Chain A
Amino acid sequence: MDNTDRSLIDAHCRGDRMAFAELVRRYGGSVLGYLVRMSGSREQADDLFQETFKRVHEKAYMFRGTQFKSWLFTIATRVAIDNLRRRRRRLVSLSQAVDCADGTCEQLNTVAVTDGSCEPSAEVAMAEQKEQVRRAIEMLPARQRAALVLAYYQQLSYREVAEMLGCSIGAVKTQMSRALRTLAQRLPDISGEVK
């Protein structure tokens, strides 16, 4: 598979658009999933997704390794962390992450209840729990969040995560440990309570 990635990137450098399309098709889902979890918003993730592949396109000739996926996620991580920093600078409210401009609220697991004081149905409770998880992850510092999303959701080994974040395995484990300890305080229990 890696060899094919290499040949696809080479073909892309020669101007083969189909090769690039194949790369996007192959890794698009996992990259978008990663960016959605990093940014907390589907719309922002779409923008970051475009930015990631724009950089891949522009820097393709610089790719020398064999692990395209690692390289791709390294770029996606940089894009996502840059975005988080930018967002912090702009003093955007945390609630901005819920973007309903194009009616994607449901995809973003927004709690769609008419009033906060009503008895939530099972579906609404589930949505509420998802929202709490999303918010808990969103509150993590950027690198802790990146380590968690890559290791837990993308199911990459700590070694791979370290490569992508440009740090040691020990540093990744430290970030993971800190992130999980914070989450242990913030994640809802199976009953929906917050500790």
Chain B
Amino acid sequence: MKRHLTERELIEYRFKLVSDSRIEKAAEHLGQCGQCRKHLEKLVRRFAALDLLREEITVSDDLLRQVVEQAGQPVQRRIIPFRKSAWLSAAAAVLVVGLLLLLADNLSERVTKKPEFAKEPTGIEGEIKFEKDTEITRAERLDKGVPAMKTFAMAPSKEEMRVGKALGGAAASGVAGGEVQEQPPFAPASAIELVTLPRRENVQLTIYNSADLTLVRERRNLTLKKGWNWLQFMWANTLIDPTSLTLEPLEQKDKVEIEQLVFPARLRELGRWLIRSEISGQVPFEITYFTSGLAWRAFYMGTLAKDEKTMRLEGYVRVDNGSGEDYENAQTRLLVGTVHILDQIAELAKRQYPYDRPRGPISDELGGGRQYEWMDRDAILLGDIAQLAGSGIAGLHPKEIKKEGLSEYFLYTIEGTETIPDKWGKRLLSFEANDITVKSLYKYDEERWGRNTIRFVAFTNDEKHNLGQTPIPNGDVKIYSRADDAGYLSYVGGTSIKYIPVNEEVELNLGPARLVTVEPKLMDFKTENYLFDSKGNVSGWDEVQTWQIETTNTRILPIEVEITRGFETAYWQIKFGEKDISYEKYDVTHARFKLNLSPRSKKTFAYTVRTYHGEREQSLRESMTKETAK
């Protein structure tokens, strides 16, 4: 090979990306050509930089534990038989179509035979006759295949079973002669035929950061039968607060009524809604409840422009789910502010009975039913879950609705939906704002930060600064700056910010600055103007200190420096040698100087402060009064 090797050929030779024969040829050429050898060495040196990222990365115990925990559930085998064999798919399709035709035919027959539904008041509407609850032990439940996880299930009522039997099948469900039985059944006949309902259509999470509290609103399409329907809700292994459960139909509200929610005795971690339906078919429902175990936190990344006059700010939130429940495609809303809660939700979730243990003897006061005084012990937290108050159990006191502390909050809604499985965390982009005008400021205050000059970046959360759409929740912020033309970032500093309301200015403390220094030097000190009392003791004097402040800016940008000096007394006066220096009285014992320094410059100024002590304080007061009078 007479010509020189190209960079591509050298790379392919170095990493053996071509055939052996071409590698041999390249090696032969390299043996003779010094220029190509140099080129190769240069490339090898450049690729050596890749080894900088070769460090060992270890899995933290925490991560390991999380991964192993998430695998705690048994492996679910999915059978997908129709994927590869076309004939199998065709056979299955024919089978399905045949079944559908058969079903449609059967249904149409049934519809024509069914008498029209007529709701006639019987005079016993709303009155409940309590019978002995059907006891379903845990063992029975397991035998009958009731799922242990939180789920919804529907069961036919006792009445349905009886009527169904009388009519010879599943055609009747809580209906007799086409009419819904007005007397609600006390409990489902049994846990047999429990049906797991369809998945959530959608779910909305509102996570309250100040408390371990999340409001979950989910929509599910439930298939109801005409008559009485039991819907069972189980919250085992989750942190759901059962006292907050509500259910509401979103359509057919005039035909579907939620009668009551019962928490059967001796059956733990489940509740049953009794639904009266005048129709058969699918009805969308909204189910609302509180859960704990979900949390979120905000953090931000600011990138200063090269001139540090503007900043790009990106806000993120990390949502962590430890609630025991997977939330798929959830619309996530984050609430900033403080809410008052009556109980810790996690505690409520762990209770053996949702409203604590039932107490007292069975009384006949409520139509021969039980004593339900325990039902109104715990109040429900929000107005939109007031459903329980009207849950249809006649004679019960309505639930108390608490709304304390809910007035000052702000709700963030994350765009789109997110899937947040249990034990998982997810980081989401919450907002981006470009070209936020910022003010860079350096502050020096020995009493607060010692001999360090502290760097600040200030901006206002308002529309003028391309923000102001919402308050900014508290969180950690990291600030970077563009270090060069290639856009590489340099870490400048980080801090925590507190909740920033709209139109409020915030100053981010980015820590000590190395390139801006302030050095005060005491140049002179004396005491004078002594006063003596009648016994010859010193009763007053002045202290006079002369300070020289040297401020250095080694940066390539102009800066503003704010220097705060304290005098430990309210009686002080300042005089300057130069005329272009001024100060403002920051408070009774402090003065503040502001300086503007051009790039790579130094500024020195001196001031003399006279402090008055003892009876000399009076003389200062008098002179100030005179000045004010003038």
Contact = CB atoms under 8 A, between A and B. Distances in A.
Interface residues of A, number: 71
Interface residues of B, number: 73
**Main SS of chain B's interface residues?**
mixed
A37 B53 contact: yes
Interface string B35-77: 0000000110111111011101111000110111011101111
Contact of A183 (B50, B64, B481, B493): B50
B203 to A, nearest CB: 20
A183 B53 CA distance: 14
B482 A114 contact: no
A133 B53 contact: yes
B17 interface: yes
B68 A20 contact: yes
Contacts of B554: 118
A95 B429 CA distance: 13
B475 to A, nearest CB: 9
A105 B478 contact: yes
A83 to B, nearest CB: 12
B476 interface: yes
A130 B52 contact: yes
A24 B299 CA distance: 30
B327 to A, nearest CB: 15
Contact of B75 (A13, A90, A112, A117): A13
Given A25-B64, A37-B53, A118-B514, A53 B71 contact: yes
A194 B46 CA distance: 10
Given A92-B429, A95-B489, A190-B45, A21 B68 contact: yes
Contacts of A116: 481-484, 490
B560 to A, nearest CB: 16
Given A36-B57, A114-B493, A187 B49 contact: yes
B290 interface: no
Given A29-B57, A130-B52, A17 B71 contact: yes
B530 to A, nearest CB: 48
B483 A111 contact: yes
B491 interface: yes
Contacts of A118: 514-515, 554
A126 B56 contact: no
Contacts of A46: 63
B585 interface: no
B555 A117 contact: yes
B476 A101 contact: yes
A144 to B, nearest CB: 13
Given A115-B492, A131-B488, A187-B49, A177 B8 contact: yes
A184 B47 contact: yes
A110 B481 CA distance: 12
A100 interface: yes
Interface in B10-51: 11-12, 15, 17-18, 42-43, 45-50
A92 B432 CA distance: 9
Nearest to A151: B15
Interface string A45-85: 01101100110011011000000000000000000000000
A113 to B, nearest CB: 5
A32 interface: yes
Interface string B109-126: 000000000000000000
A12 B75 contact: yes
B303 A95 contact: yes
Nearest to A18: B68
Contacts of B455: 114
A130 B63 contact: no
Contact of B314 (A96, A111, A153): A96
A126 B59 CA distance: 24
B178 interface: no
A109 B432 CA distance: 24
Given A49-B67, A50-B63, A95-B480, A130 B427 contact: no
A176 interface: yes
B12 to A, nearest CB: 6
Interface stretch (B382-390, B418-426, B603-611): B418-426
Given A43-B427, A117-B515, 15 more contacts: A28-B67, A29-B56, A49-B67, A50-B66, A50-B67, A57-B70, A100-B299, A110-B491, A112-B491, A114-B514, A129-B52, A130-B53, A153-B54, A173-B18, A187-B49
Query: 3 smallest A-B Cβ distances: which pairs?
Result: A116-B483, A28-B59, A33-B57
18 contacts: A17-B71, A28-B63, A29-B56, A29-B58, A37-B53, A46-B63, A47-B425, A50-B67, A50-B70, A53-B67, A53-B71, A61-B75, A98-B301, A100-B476, A116-B482, A128-B488, A177-B11, A184-B47
Interface of A: 12-13, 15, 17, 20-21, 24-25, 28-29, 32-33, 36-37, 43-44, 46-47, 49-50, 53-54, 57-58, 60-61, 90, 92-93, 95-96, 98-101, 105, 109-118, 126, 128-135, 137, 152-153, 173, 176-177, 180-181, 183-184, 187-190, 194-195
